[in-house]
Chain A
Amino acid sequence: MRLLFVSIVISVLSPFNQSDFWKGSKGSIAFTSDAPLELIEAESNQLTGVLKPSENTFAFLIYTKTFNGFNSPLQQEHFHENYMESEKYPKATFSGKFIENIENLKEGKHELRAKGMLVIHGVSVERIIKCTAVVSKKEVTITSNFNVPLEDHKISIPQVVYQKIAEEIYVTVKITLQPS
């Protein structure tokens, strides 16, 4: 009886029980390549994401074409044509399950670990990515930053620009999701 009461209280307290799906579409994602000779920064605010608390699952998606803010249009062109091959692999995704149970997350700040497959350049690599989730009544905001080693995703850098592109790209993400 007490257990039932506790679980009722928890479900009342947890905003995550309002809906089965939480969605966000205007998430921002930015990356930085800090190479010895050149600092490249680009960003996009077209990151979309979905959480399904009942299953602990998540999925995030970004079309690589939406990145802008390069140092030059030529650089942007190289990014899409030579490295990301955006025509061939238009999407980068990260989907999987949280290690922590998110079903009954209370309002407040939580450190979570998202374990899933990170697909960039058509190559999927399993990752555990730390993120912070701030849960309020109406929404949840997830922020994270992590490194993407280019080698992992078979993105090869010509020797000529080797000094200009970092071997690891630093990515920051912020997305707010609402129940749908």
Chain B
Amino acid sequence: MRHWLTIIIGSLALTILSAQNFNQREIDMPQGVLASEIKLLYTDNQGFVWIAAGQSLYRHDGNAFKEINVSEDMAEKEISSLYEDQSGQYWIGWNTGEIHLLKNGLTVAYSPNEGTPAVPIVNWAEDSQQQLWMCTKGEGVYVKNNKGRWFNFNTDEGFPSNETYDIIPLKEGVAVATDQGLVYCVFKDGSKAIEVLDQSSGLSDQIVKDLHYDEKGVLAAFYEPYLNSLSSSLKVIDTLIAPTSDAKRITRSFGTVWCLSEDGKLFRKNSNSGWIQLKLDVTGRSRIQTFTEDHEGHLWVLGSRGIFMIDQWYYHFATEQSVTAIVTSNDAIWYAQVGDLYRYDIAANTSKKVWQGANLILSLYKDDWGNIWCGTFDGGLLRYEPAAGSMKIYNEESGLANNNVLSISGNRLGLWVGTLGGVSHINFEDGGSVREINSYDRNQGVSVQYIYSVHVNKSGKVYIGTDGEGVLSWNGNGFEPLSGKKQDEVVLDVSSDKKGNIWWVTSGGILEGWSAQGSMFEVPPYPEEPGKVAGIETLEDGSILVMHDGGVHRWIPEVKKWVAYKKSFGLGALQPQLNAHATNGGDIIYIGTSNGITSLSIDHLPVKTQPKTTIQDYRLFQKPTTRTSFSSDENYFTFQYVGRWYTEPSAVRYKLRLSGFDPDWIESKDTEISYPRLPPGNYTFEVVAGVDGNYPEGEIESVSFIIYQPWYSRWYSITIGVLLLVGMVFFLFRIRLKTLAQKQEREKQQVQAQLETLKSQVNPHFLFNSFNTLMALIEEDRDGATSYLSDLSDFFRYILEFREVDLIMVKEDVRIVQTYLHLQAKRFGDSLMANIELPNEVLASYIPPLTLQLLVENAFKHNVISKDKPLELEIRYEADFIVISNRHWAKVKSDESTGYGLDSIKKKYKYYNAGQVKVEVTLEYFTVYLPVIYQNHKL
């Protein structure tokens, strides 16, 4: 366990001097842009950092600057101001008075009816009524009301000057810095109110160069080297001496005031420190043009050689040797280098050696009377009285447990001292002088020899960190284990927080805690292996800093999370010295390191080390789009996103997914992802940037969009399609039904016709007559009778043969008629004069069977047939018609007629679509015109 001693001694080696006071990183400039061309640095509401160089505008996206295209030719002109209003609209002011807006990544000229100024636009502000103000160099101030109309404030309204330098919003109205005073302007309901403040109002100077406004009030910087702190109602509260005359810019963040002079010098001042100049190089000759602050607490400084990002939380005061012990007082930091005691004056930023000693100083303590106690290696305990400059020694001879003093802690009543030979308790008199020294060692009170750390908390309880027995607490008579149970840890540093919880760190670097309620805290291991641990410090917010070689780890018990501040915070090579750390009781921690004192401004250290995610671009087929709905063939999407984490851009990773496509998150280092050939659907692209595997849920950025189904698969198309199909089926079905019905009707007719024909043929009269004729013939003319009978049988055979046929050739029908006429001729003899004359092509045409026979039979039925009135029957061809004509001798009482015959013929012809059957009745002739059917349409 002796090795800890070796480490203490060993770390006293000389180290190289560092001139770097601030932690700074150079930012890569846009290609082709020189630092000297840049006139403007601006941080927008989302934390993007912008620069303007001449007529070019660039935005830093977290990785690099990207150029914004200026829409018009603005050659020879310069961007003089940039502002993002609360609605996210960017306003670009030019040195020639023009105004541009930023739209879809392009700057577009803005031309109000009132015209634009003819002088440079210096700055912008937005008041509580969302009225936009701009101040100009020569035309005073303009304000745009909520109707979009511009109004002017200048000397006509009582402005002391039209030359303005800056404008800031106040709770109501704005404050304007001019070269003739500070002007308070309010524009409400079209009426103007102004109030001019100058030296008679308590201002330090009439030339007000710059203004800053925050929750603490207003800061004004002047031409003369003063700063005024004003209330939000512009009452002068305080006057400070500025570090320089002719201020150019003033700002305040986290209690640090930054002041830039026209001649390029930038200074900062903390609540209890003096002005410290920020030098971008060792000589400090690099002129600083302007600066801006990002959302992570970095200051972006434009120097004559480039843009540098400065960590506001970090300041390093370099020393020649290791700082082995450190303690703070109101206005100074006391620190030890080897055996020498130094006093660093915070306000003056200078250091002075107050005592030169022979023994290494390993611990320092300031008592309530201002005396500085130094614990030395082998030299006992020294008390330095600053007023007298004298040193008093307490050692083993005075009753001290051991001459090697590693740690001192205490209060108004006395000191507790940890040594390499036990613990000593020094009791004070009321005036601070030493009354007595009680020591506790292995013989009495404390079981461990080496005590590395002593801590007296606010209520006076005493804890010690031991070599091998963990943390012990004082019970009035001796030291006992915290939990009543013996531990076997080597504890390097012990501390306590506001709530009375005890925290300590072991030689292995493990942070452990013991709650005020009496139980162990569970602290998970560090997110990554820390370097060699040098001590812990408890913070106002309850978190605990563990200082180690590679930086600082911060344990935040409230959220049970570790936050690491390492290289990107300027703490990559911190090399803190064992137990050499102190706070100013506020927000600053001073750490003694191997090459000086590093101070960390805790309020500036980000608690959340997380990037801010922005979806920069959302492209369809590589072309930016703002649409959210797309057709089915618009299916190639690309997303560009960035996590702005200026602290350590290379550590940024992304977690992303496209829900609707893939529900699983994927991790990526890329800042772009493409989804080709997305099927139709609803999608949400989500991305969040993170560092060290922490992806804050609340910071997820998303964009939702929809790809529609192609027209043929959308619900209404489908519905229409189905309806159409149903309609068509229905329609076809109906046609089919109709056809079937027609067919049925036709068949019925046919059957009817056949029946009729049969009926007519088996007409008893016909048979009777035929048989009579036959009987007569049998006697007179046997051969004739035989032929008659043969004809009769032929006739009936034809009827039977053709009754089920649709169409037959005309010549066949003619044969039937001829047979029929043959039969009838026997009966009527000369009274029948039939003439059939049809051309061959008509004979080869078609006709419904028995049509001619039916018509001829009708002629027999309806006419008187006698020698005087013979039946003159003619079947001939006449212009596409078969004409059946007979001389009309109507019977007085016709044979019973069903009227069916002719009707049925007409229907048949209609059915065959063969044309109209015409019937012509004159006094003399009854004529039927049958259209010729040339083609046999088989249905």
Contacts and interface: CB of A to CB of B under 8 A. Distances in A.
Interface of A: 96-97, 99-100, 111, 113, 115, 125-130, 146-147
Contacts of A113: 114-115
Interface string B114-128: 110110000000000
A128 B117 CA distance: 11
B113 A146 contact: yes
Contact of B118 (A100, A126, A147): A100
A147 B151 CA distance: 15
Given A126-B192, A127-B114, A128-B114, 9 more contacts: A96-B156, A99-B117, A99-B118, A100-B118, A115-B156, A126-B151, A126-B190, A128-B152, A129-B114
B150 interface: yes
A113 to B, nearest CB: 5
B113 A99 contact: no
Contact of A99 (B152, B190, B192): B152
Instruction: Find the residue from A115, A146, A147 having the highest chain B CB count within 10 A.
Output: A115
Contacts of B152: 99, 115, 128
B118 A130 contact: no
A156 B115 CA distance: 28
B493 interface: no
B139 A147 contact: no
Interface residues of B, number: 13
Nearest to A100: B118
B750 interface: no
Given A113-B114, A128-B114, A129-B114, A99 B151 contact: no
Interface in B131-162: 139, 150-152, 154, 156
A89 B117 CA distance: 34
A147 B154 CA distance: 24
B190 A125 contact: yes
B205 to A, nearest CB: 28
A147 B190 CA distance: 17
B151 A130 contact: no
A153 to B, nearest CB: 12
Instruction: Find the residue from A99, A113, A128 having the highest chain B CB count within 10 A.
Output: A99
A130 B190 contact: no
Given A99-B139, A125-B190, A130 B156 contact: no
Nearest to B136: A99
A128 B190 contact: no
A111 B113 CA distance: 13
A125 B114 CA distance: 14
Given A99-B139, A128-B150, A147 B113 contact: yes
Given A100-B118, A125-B190, A130 B113 contact: yes
Instruction: Find the residue from B115, B139, B150, B154 having the highest chain A CB count within 10 A.
Output: B115
Given A97-B156, A126-B190, A111 B115 contact: yes
Nearest to A128: B114
B156 A128 contact: no
Contacts of A115: 152, 156
Contacts of A111: 115
B25 to A, nearest CB: 45
Contacts of B118: 99-100
A146 B112 CA distance: 11
Contacts of A97: 156
5 contacts: A97-B156, A115-B152, A126-B151, A128-B150, A130-B113
Contacts of B150: 128
A42 to B, nearest CB: 22
Contacts of B151: 126, 128
B187 to A, nearest CB: 10
A170 to B, nearest CB: 11
A130 B97 CA distance: 15
Nearest to A97: B156
A6 to B, nearest CB: 19
Contact of B115 (A96, A130, A147): A130
Interface string B80-120: 00000000000000000000000000000000011101100
A61 to B, nearest CB: 20
Contacts of B190: 125-126
A97 B114 CA distance: 14
Contacts of B117: 99
Contacts of A99: 117-118, 139, 152, 154
Nearest to A57: B156
B194 to A, nearest CB: 14
A115 B115 CA distance: 11
A75 B192 CA distance: 38
* 4 pairs of A and B residues whose beta carbons are closest in the complex: A128-B114, A130-B115, A113-B115, A115-B152
Contact of B114 (A96, A100, A130): A130
Contacts of B115: 111, 113, 128, 130
Nearest to A129: B114
Contacts of A128: 114-115, 150-152
B157 to A, nearest CB: 10
A129 to B, nearest CB: 7
A126 B145 CA distance: 12
A96 B118 CA distance: 19
A125 B191 CA distance: 10
Instruction: Find the residue from B114, B139, B150 having the highest chain A CB count within 10 A.
Output: B114
Contacts of A130: 113-115
A97 B117 CA distance: 15
A132 B139 CA distance: 19
A115 B118 CA distance: 14
Nearest to A147: B113
A147 B147 CA distance: 14
Nearest to A130: B115
Interface string B816-833: 000000000000000000
A111 B151 CA distance: 18
Nearest to A113: B115
Interface in B277-312: none
B475 to A, nearest CB: 81
Interface string B175-201: 000000000000000101000000000
A149 B150 CA distance: 15
A19 B639 CA distance: 67
A87 B190 CA distance: 27
A115 B117 CA distance: 12
Instruction: Find the residue from B113, B150, B151, B154 having the highest chain A CB count within 10 A.
Output: B113
A111 B97 CA distance: 13
A113 B112 CA distance: 12
Contacts of A147: 113
A117 to B, nearest CB: 11
A96 B152 CA distance: 12
A113 B150 CA distance: 12
B122 to A, nearest CB: 16
Contacts of B139: 99
Contacts of B114: 113, 127-130
A127 B151 CA distance: 7
Contacts of A100: 118
Nearest to A115: B152
B142 to A, nearest CB: 9
Nearest to B114: A128
B148 to A, nearest CB: 11
Nearest to A56: B156
B138 to A, nearest CB: 9
B790 to A, nearest CB: 102
Nearest to A125: B190
B146 to A, nearest CB: 14
A147 B152 CA distance: 18
A146 B150 CA distance: 14
A144 B111 CA distance: 16
A99 B152 CA distance: 9
B297 to A, nearest CB: 42
A100 B140 CA distance: 12
Interface in B495-542: none
A97 B159 CA distance: 14
Instruction: Find the residue from B117, B152, B190 having the highest chain A CB count within 10 A.
Output: B152
Contacts of A129: 114
